[in-house]
């Protein structure tokens, strides 16, 4: 299973079943704009519920397809600091059995992509703890706005 396979399952989850007007979904979202310190970090996937009745929940996903990559991530917890800051929930997403549940850091959750009746779906293995955090800063808003504008240009050209 590749990273693209996992991102496809995530994308379908947020773009199916009438979810288009409920969730904003972004892949490879660069945090911030410009070329200053800290803006080079990217989130594999980031979603935000668009309605206050669902707390405008923000979820960050870190995709891992190899054990070595996951173990490297564990050695550098600072790498996910901004993802934690800009989300209420943070999940690692992996193929089944890649990670043992007890290896997941306390501030994170784990979802696995499972085959169910001829299609793939996400299954929560370790629930992510809810974090109350302040609204995202303008730099993240600008990054999201740039992504939306770029996608609109692709559609119109």
Taking only the tens place, the pLDDT of each residue in 87-111 is 999 999 999 999 999 999 999 999 9
pLDDT at 17: 58
Residue 123 to residue 114: CA distance in whole angstroms? 7
Token match 């990670």: residue?
99
Question: What mean pLDDT do residues 27-41 have?
Answer: 70
CB 126 within 8 A of CB 101: yes
CB 114 within 8 A of CB 120: yes
Radius of gyration (C-alpha) of the chain in whole angstroms: 16
- Number of Cα atoms under 13 Å in the Cβ half of residue 20: 2
The whole-chain average pLDDT of the chain stands at 87
CB 112 within 8 A of CB 123: yes
CB 34 within 8 A of CB 62: no
pLDDT tier at 22 (50, 70, 90 boundaries)?
A: confident
CB 141 within 8 A of CB 118: no
pLDDT at 29: 86
Strands (E), the chain: 23-30, 42-49, 58-63, 89-94, 109-116, 119-126
pLDDT tier at 35 (50, 70, 90 boundaries)?
A: low
pLDDT at 33: 63
pTM score over 0.75: yes
More confidently predicted of 91 and 36:
91
More confidently predicted of 128 and 146:
128
**Number of domains, the chain:** 1
Residue 41 has pLDDT above 80, yes or no: no
Please report the sign of the dihedral spanned by the C-alpha atoms of residue 105, residue 23, residue 13, residue 42.
negative
Provide the domain limits for residue 124.
3-156
pLDDT tier at 19 (50, 70, 90 boundaries)?
A: low
pLDDT tier at 37 (50, 70, 90 boundaries)?
A: low
Token match 């995530």: residue?
10
pLDDT tens column, 105-139: 999 999 999 987 778 889 999 999 999 988 877 77
């Amino acid at each position: 299973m590749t990273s693209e396979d996992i991102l496809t399952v995530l994308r379908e989850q947020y773009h199916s079943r009438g979810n288009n007007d409920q969730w904003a979904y972004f892949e490879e979202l660069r945090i911030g704009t410009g070329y200053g310190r800290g803006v080079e970090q990217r989130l594999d996937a980031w979603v935000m519920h668009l309605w206050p009745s669902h707390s405008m929940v923000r979820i960050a996903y870190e995709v891992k397809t190899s054990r070595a990559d996951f173990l490297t991530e564990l050695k550098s917890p600072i790498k996910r600091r901004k993802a934690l800051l800009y989300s209420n929930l943070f999940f690692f997403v992996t193929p089944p059995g890649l990670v043992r549940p007890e290896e997941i850091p306390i501030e994170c959750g784990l979802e696995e992509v499972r085959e169910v009746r001829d299609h793939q779906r996400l299954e929560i293995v370790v629930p992510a703890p809810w974090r109350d955090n302040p609204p995202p800063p303008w730099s993240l808003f600008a990054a999201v706005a740039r992504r939306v504008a770029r996608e609109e240009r692709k559609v119109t050209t």
